[in-house]
């Protein structure tokens, strides 16, 4: 195992990782396509266990057919299903989109609320989706944890084998400066999507390997 890795404190590792991302990350924005908060919420709900690329193929026609929550709220699950059938779990997502639109119309005057408690009352919106909305739509410091963030944080050693997304979120929030939380969310997602991939991480081209727990234990032999 790397001596450098062994002697580094967690705080030190965070500082090195954050500095590397600040210097090298090309993008810190969502790859979902949208033009307003309603469209973003639709896209994020669809993105659960589905790639952003697939969602971006689905949403243009969906947004044209249901341009505002009021139009979607008046639709049927079957009508929405026809537009999202190539997405994962289209039946459940069609019902959630309808429930979301009806909730927005009934309780929030057709607008997406900007606080986490209200967001969590919306069908199809869990903690990750709510945090995405806070971070992306409202520029509020938040750390949404999806499968990429969960995996990358654990591999690098930013978390200590956390068992749940909430545990990961709490540890990341503890160590990452508040003003960088939303940006760091995108850093970790994109790193997990293109470099620290699930099955065979591309350690040979990863700029974080000097501070990475996985690299020290599995690639650099003692």
| Beta carbons of 171 and 164 less than 8 angstroms apart | no
Q: Whole-prediction pTM value? A: 0.85
Burial of residue 149 (number of CB atoms within 10 Å: 0-12, 13-18, 19+) = buried
Structural domains in the chain, CATH included, are: 3-29+143-218 (1.10.1670.10), 37-137 (1.10.340.30)
Classify 7 as helix, strand or coil: helix
**Residues noted as catalytic:** 128, 146
Reading the chain (222 residues) residue by residue, the pLDDT tens digits are 454 555 678 899 999 999 999 999 876 788 899 999 999 999 999 999 899 999 999 999 999 999 999 999 999 999 999 999 999 999 999 999 999 999 999 999 999 999 999 999 999 999 999 999 999 999 999 999 999 999 999 999 999 889 999 999 999 999 999 999 999 999 999 999 999 999 999 999 999 999 999 999 887 755
């Amino acid at each position: 195992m790397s001596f450098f890795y062994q002697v580094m404190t967690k705080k030190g590792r965070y500082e090195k990782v954050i500095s590397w991302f600040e210097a090298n990350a090309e993008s810190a924005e969502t790859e979902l396509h949208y033009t307003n908060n309603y469209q973003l919420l639709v896209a994020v709900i669809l993105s659960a266990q589905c790639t952003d690329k697939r969602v971006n193929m689905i949403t243009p026609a969906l947004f044209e057919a249901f341009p505002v929550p009021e139009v979607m709220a008046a639709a049927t699950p079957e009508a929405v299903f026809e537009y999202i059938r190539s997405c994962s779990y289209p039946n459940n997502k069609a019902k959630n989109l309808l429930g979301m639109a009806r909730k927005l119309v009934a309780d929030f005057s057709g607008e997406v609320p900007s606080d986490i408690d209200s967001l969590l009352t919306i069908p199809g919106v869990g903690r990750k989706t709510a945090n995405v909305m806070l971070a992306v739509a409202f520029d509020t410091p938040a750390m949404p944890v999806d499968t990429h963030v969960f995996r990358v944080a654990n591999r690098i050693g930013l978390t200590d084998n956390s068992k749940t997304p909430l545990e990961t979120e709490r540890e990341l929030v503890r160590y990452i400066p508040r003003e960088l939380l939303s940006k760091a969310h995108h850093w970790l997602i994109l790193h997990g999507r293109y470099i620290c991939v699930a099955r065979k991480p591309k350690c040979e081209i990863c700029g974080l390997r000097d501070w990475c727990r996985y690299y020290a234990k599995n690639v650099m032999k003692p």
